[in-house]
Structure 1
């Protein structure tokens, strides 16, 4: 049975597609791509049908990541098929937990940086780079990469627990 992870930011053109690309690469490197599905969405539908922000694509490409992406909005009905919903900041965390149909679904929502052992409890948001320059996208990538190892370890534990 496939373990399903969905990353969520505001419009699904900057942070969440970046996290999707990085985590998909980590999953593939770990040999888990046949057991883990990785996706992304936005809390809003403003960019639905659009590709990722060109700055996201440029920073990913410069760092060896591949992304084929079309933005879409997260829907409450998705909770039933997802195992883990990763919010990129506390605003998304709150919005997703309010959207969750059940408490069990709300418990599936976690902040990405909570998986980064170097992140402090008051520093768990990945800032939105949309209104800034490329440096904000590079910082976003650093944060995503720093949290991906811990997230992969947590997902691997869940996947192995299912197989046992």
Structure 2
């Protein structure tokens, strides 16, 4: 089973959307039994809350319903997950700072490392929280592409 964790700052915009997109793609392929998907934030601002209303609204406009409740990253997540995908370099450094082994470090990667276009790999997924609706759609489009590529990556690994 592949265990994937998506991480952003507050776990109300980017990471729950990535979780929702990935879960939907897995369900559409009928391979739910091969994956465990979750998301969290590095900060404790929104623990227990639903995703940001604008994120949920944008997801619904794109045919996706988000029901995740925010939680904060815990160092035990290094043991519970195989792949930890962080939305931006600042939060990646916060996660890396909690690692206690090389094995933990090797699990952490930026989300946009799964962009097909090389010039976009390693770039931060922008935080739409302080922007307008177009920012939420931009993030949706980025995460839709990246989760598709991430899923392909993991399915290939499962086959091999």
TM-score by length of structure 2 reads 0.94
Which residue of structure 2 lines up, in the alignment, with residue 158 of structure 1?
157
Question: Residue by residue, what CA displacement relative to the aligned partner does 1:12-58 show, whole Å, maximum 9, x if unpaired?
Answer: 00000011111111111222111101110000111111111000000
* 1: CA distance, partners of 2:115 / 2:28: 19
Q: Which runs of 4+ in 1 moved over 4 A?
A: none
* 2: CA distance, partners of 1:146 / 1:157: 17
1:144–1:119 Cα change, 3 Å: farther
Which residue of structure 2 lines up, in the alignment, with residue 32 of structure 1?
31
Asked whether 1:93 is paired with 2:92, we answer yes
* 2: CA distance, partners of 1:135 / 1:39: 25
Which residue of structure 2 lines up, in the alignment, with residue 77 of structure 1?
76
* 2: CA distance, partners of 1:13 / 1:146: 20
1:1-164 matched pairs, under 5 angstroms = 2-120=1-119, 124-161=123-160
- Is the 1:98–1:106 Cα contact (8 Å) retained in structure 2? no
Q: Which stretches in structure 2 are left out of the alignment for 5+ residues?
A: none
Deviation at 1:127, TM superposition (A): 0.5
* 2: CA distance, partners of 1:138 / 1:121: 17
- Is the 2:8–2:87 Cα contact (8 Å) retained in structure 1? yes
Deviation at 1:157, TM superposition (A): 2.5
* 2: CA distance, partners of 1:96 / 1:16: 14
Superposed CA RMSD:
1.4
TM-score by length of structure 1 reads 0.92
- Is the 1:116–1:148 Cα contact (8 Å) retained in structure 2? no
Q: Which stretches in structure 1 are left out of the alignment for 5+ residues?
A: none
Deviation at 1:155, TM superposition (A): 1.4
